[in-house]
């Protein structure tokens, strides 16, 4: 059976799993399809928290949380903190109830973005077919190498994560498979510093008892709808004909049927050319009035949403841009838990920082942008309430944003 040493990156044949015959390392991976699989998902481990620990050695063994205190949420938790049950998107007060001694650090987005770009450059040295999903994870298609490196993708991927660890002093986990769906699942199986493989032969048996929520496109609302129909596991999905699923759930039903069999025809799509999509407008008269600013923001969000859909991308990050009456540029960005093409999500995400800034000074220009672009197939999991903005009234969001901004100001 083929084996891979994750330390010296040698690939070899062995009758049984064990230490690397070349260097004696125990960090080995064995799989019968190891030489043949070429779709990779690389996911940095506890990215924000790991960078903070890297930059402050005193934090090495401490439970570290990145996020806002009190009414904020957890953006990232190190693996020490995760032992207490702390996870991303958890309200901060709950996290601190579970681990009162946790060290809470405010996010440093510029630093994280810079490291994310360095990781991506290392990936692109390996293959031009890199599709970022967020600042800290990406798919890679290693089926072809422009440099004619004939070594198996598994070996070259092991070199990549070792290089990330040695040069950037952060760690990453790898999922290796024959399509994007399974590669992403694999990367979560052995964190941190993991290297997991799912091949064609075991895909259906591996998936059978897994919950439906691991299928792409299944969010909480669709998961509940499936549960109401007595569909809880992937085996339950597989037991139904594709025609039945599509008749009940539409297009997503067809996708569920294929994913349940381990099928995924999506290609790894690099986004070199289009790094961001944005729209902006200049006011006739400078203003600091939130109502005026918000009224100008909505059509800009609609414009960006239309361009995302037309170009086949989705926004991983929303950026608010303002230019003051003194011609100073201000930007505020927010990474989304799920990529979007919806104008309402773009609008509401940009509206909160706008509400915090409105009234403090006057602005001559406003803009909204979408960055960290990913494929449209990863956008906005379907839910019971639809996935368009046809019934959305942007005026209803202004009061909520104003109240949230006021609460944030009171905390400071």
How would you label 223-242 residue by residue, b for 16+ Cβ within 10 Å and e otherwise?
bebbeeeebebbbbbbebeb
Phi, psi values for residue 32, rounded to 5°? -65, -25
| Radius of gyration, alpha carbons of the chain | 23
302 is catalytic: no
Rounded to whole angstroms, how far apart are CA atoms 36 and 240? 31
Instruction: Kindly name the residue from 33, 131, 137, 302 that is annotated as catalytic.
Output: 137
Rounded to whole angstroms, how far apart are CA atoms 128 and 12? 27
Q: Which two tokens stand for residue 381?
A: 């999991």
Q: Which two tokens stand for residue 73?
A: 């949420």
Are 308 and 300 a contacting pair, CB within 8 Å? no
Phi, psi values for residue 152, rounded to 5°? -60, 145
Residue 272 exposed, middle or buried by CB count within 10 Å (0-12, 13-18, 19+) = exposed
Supply the DSSP string of 302-324, one letter for each residue: HHHHHHHHHHTEEEEEEEEEEEE
Q: How many CA within 13 A on the CB side of residue 3?
A: 19
Are 4 and 155 a contacting pair, CB within 8 Å? yes
By three-state DSSP, how is residue 352 classified? Answer: helix
Smallest Cα–Cα separation from 39: which of 130, 161, 116?
A: 130
Helices (H) and strands (E) in the chain, counts: 14, 16
Active site amino acids: 137
């Amino acid at each position: 059976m083929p084996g891979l040493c994750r330390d010296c990156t040698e690939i070899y044949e062995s009758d049984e799993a064990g230490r690397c015959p070349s260097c004696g390392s125990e960090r080995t991976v064995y799989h019968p399809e190891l030489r043949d699989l070429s779709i990779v998902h690389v996911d940095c481990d506890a990215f924000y928290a790991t960078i903070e620990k890297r930059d402050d050695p005193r934090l090495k063994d401490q439970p570290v949380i990145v996020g806002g205190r009190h009414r904020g949420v957890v953006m990232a938790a190190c693996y020490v903190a995760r032992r207490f049950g702390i996870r991303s998107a958890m309200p901060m007060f709950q996290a601190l109830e579970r681990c009162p001694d946790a060290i809470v650090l405010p996010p440093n987005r510029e630093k994280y973005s810079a490291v994310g770009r360095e990781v991506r450059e290392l990936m692109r040295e390996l293959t031009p077919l890199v599709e970022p999903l967020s600042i800290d994870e990406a798919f890679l298609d290693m089926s072809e190498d422009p440099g004619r490196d004939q070594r198996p993708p598994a070996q070259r991927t092991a070199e990549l994560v070792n290089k990330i660890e040695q040069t950037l002093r952060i760690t990453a986990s790898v999922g290796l498979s024959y399509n994007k769906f399974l590669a992403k699942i694999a990367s979560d199986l052995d964190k941190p510093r993991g290297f997991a493989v799912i091949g064609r032969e075991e895909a259906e048996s591996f998936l059978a008892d897994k919950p439906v929520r691991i299928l792409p496109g299944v969010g909480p609302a669709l998961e509940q709808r499936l549960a109401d129909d007595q569909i809880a596991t992937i085996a339950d999905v597989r037991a139904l004909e594709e025609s039945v699923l599509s008749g009940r759930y539409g297009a997503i039903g067809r996708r569920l049927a294929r994913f349940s069999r381990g099928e995924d025809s999506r290609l790894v799509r690099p986004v070199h050319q289009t790094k961001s999509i944005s729209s902006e407008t200049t006011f006739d008269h400078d203003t600091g009035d939130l109502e005026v600013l918000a009224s100008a923001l909505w059509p800009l969000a609609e414009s960006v949403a239309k361009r995302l859909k037309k170009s086949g991308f989705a926004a991983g990050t929303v950026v608010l841009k303002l230019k003051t009456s003194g011609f100073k540029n201000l930007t505020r960005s927010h990474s989304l838990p799920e990529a979007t093409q919806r104008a309402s999500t773009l609008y509401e995400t940009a509206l909160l920082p706008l509400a915090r800034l409105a009234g403090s000074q006057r602005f001559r220009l406003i803009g909204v942008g979408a960055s960290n672009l990913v494929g449209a197939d990863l956008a906005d999991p379907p839910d019971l309430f639809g996935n368009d903005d046809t019934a959305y009234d942007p005026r209803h969001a202004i009061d909520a944003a104003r109240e949230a901004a006021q609460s944030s100001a009171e905390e400071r």
